[in-house]
Amino acid sequence: MASHAHPTHPSAQALGDAEVLRIRNDFPILEQDVNGRPLVYLDSGATSQNPQSVMEAEQEFYEQRNAAVHRGAHTLAVNATDAFEDARATVAGFIGAAENELVWTQNATAGLNLIAYSFGNASVGKVSEAAKKFALGAGDEVLVTEMEHHANLIPWQELCRRTGATLRFIPIHDDGTLDMAAAAELINARTRVLSFTHVSNVTGVINPAAELAAMAHQVGALVVLDACQSAPHLPLDVKALDVDFAVFSGHKMLAPTGIGGVYGRAELLDAMPPFLTGGSMITTVTMEEAGYLPAPQRFEAGTQPISQAVALATAANYLSETGMERIHAWEAELGQRLVRGLEGIDGIRVLGPASGIPRAGLAAFEVEGVHAHDVGQFLDAAGIAVRVGHHCAQPLHRRLGLNSSTRASAYLYNTTADVDAFLAAVAGVRAYFGVEGA
């Protein structure tokens, strides 16, 4: 796959309203009314909805295959293990990885903590020679960006606190795009880790992942990609982007909660110290010490989210069969429709790039004189679900001069009518709260 240098101009034909209406039939939750109005769900950036096939896959596992994996020799245990590992192969293929390069986690936050804590474990005590490459100390730098979700900021803050390394960040421009000139200066011989979001969950900015990875690798740094907002919405090929690690969450890509993944280059995962320890990730255990399995099992202590993994694989197949290029093209159209519409409403400030500039299918905005939570409640009364708050990105909001915003985020089951209903409702917010023309 391409490295998404021009992510809003894919060659594939976008989905259209007629096809999306057929897709919506696969999502029972979208058929309901909320507050007497047809539900308009524009909060997929927080959590996506599940198609019937995904829910059935998880139920079928419990009805036909439920057993512990990698532990039993009986038929159910074998069937459960096969389903679990088949799911790993499917999801790994979905992101362009090899089967042994995907570690199951609870979510992307758990994945980022796994990476950071493993690096921290390489900095203390007795570790293998291979693990020493991950050890950090005084004089080393970890680099993030000013647009990061807290999940890709706080683990690195904690790692630097524990190891004495320094955390630095690449600033953004006023339009929310990354300052690449600053990135070129900040990525230097002291940089050991560069961790950044592929797609901002606030501004919709799509970062040049391959370019940033190349810059980091030139100085020998490891590259961690937060793919939470890209894996569900655009074709993701971790090998083409040349990142060392990537994380994603199932609940943002049509799957249940409680399942996510870490991609890591096989040679790196096998060299990293374990994060969680216990059963299922060991070779030999004595009363004094233990030996650990190679990846991915060395990072999967305890009972795993087996049915969730099976359901995530079904979700990945659903997305692949629909066509990630087509999904991305449709969401790009919806994203532009959102921004153009919001820009045409008095008293609205859109965060991130202006209309016509590439972005993901989401838009966060400020309504002059009205708190974001009030905006959200007004929209909910009209049956429209959006996200309000700082979206777990306080530093980004602070940089943009805000404490909170309202965010509408689209997915493959949203129509132009959804966007237009949202825009019509937003147009009435200031008048309702008596601040129009203030």
How confident is the model over 337-342, as a mean pLDDT? 98
pLDDT per residue as tens digits for the range 222-248: 999 999 999 999 999 999 999 999 999
For 190, the token pair is 């002291």
Q: How far apart are CA 48 and CA 39, in angstroms?
A: 14
How confident is the model over 298-318, as a mean pLDDT? 96
How confident is the model over 194-208, as a mean pLDDT? 98
**Domains of the chain by residue range:** 17-49+323-430, 55-320
Nearest to 143 by CA among 130, 158, 153, 131: 153
Rounded to 5 degrees, what angle do the CA atoms 240, 241, 245 make?
115
Catalytic residue among 392, 394, 427, 435: 392
Q: At what angle do helices 108-121 and 154-163 cross, to 10 degrees?
A: 10
pLDDT given for residue 437 in this prediction: 64
Q: At what angle do helices 372-381 and 416-426 cross, to 10 degrees?
A: 120
pLDDT per residue as tens digits for the range 67-112: 999 888 899 999 999 999 999 999 999 999 999 999 999 999 999 9
Instruction: Provide the CATH number for the domain formed by 55-320 in this structure.
Output: 3.40.640.10
Residue 42 clears pLDDT 90, i.e. is over it? yes
Indicate the Cα dihedral angle 328, 330, 332, 333, nearest 10°: 170
Question: How much of the chain, in percent, has pLDDT values that exceed 70?
Answer: 97
pLDDT band with cut points at 50, 70 and 90 for residue 6: very low
Say if domain 17-49+323-430 classifies as CATH 3.40.47.10: no
pLDDT band with cut points at 50, 70 and 90 for residue 7: very low
pLDDT given for residue 72 in this prediction: 80
Residue 200, number of CB atoms within 10 A of its CB = 30
pLDDT per residue as tens digits for the range 407-433: 999 999 999 999 999 999 999 999 999
- According to DSSP, residue 190 is labeled T
pLDDT given for residue 362 in this prediction: 98
pLDDT given for residue 4 in this prediction: 34
pLDDT band with cut points at 50, 70 and 90 for residue 9: very low
Q: How far apart are CA 220 and CA 69, in angstroms?
A: 38
**Mean pLDDT (the chain, rounded):** 94
Give catalytic status of residue 160 as yes or no: no
Quickly tell me which residue has 């790009």 as its tokens: 332
pLDDT band with cut points at 50, 70 and 90 for residue 348: very high
pLDDT given for residue 2 in this prediction: 32
Equal fold, 17-49+323-430 vs 55-320: no
How confident is the model over 139-160, as a mean pLDDT? 98
Residue 10 clears pLDDT 70, i.e. is over it? no
pLDDT given for residue 5 in this prediction: 34
Of residues 51 and 73, the one with the higher pLDDT is 51
Residue 201 CA from chain centroid, whole number: 9
pLDDT given for residue 354 in this prediction: 96
For 335, the token pair is 């994203």
Residue 413, number of CB atoms within 10 A of its CB = 22
pLDDT per residue as tens digits for the range 118-134: 999 998 878 888 889 99
pLDDT given for residue 429 in this prediction: 97
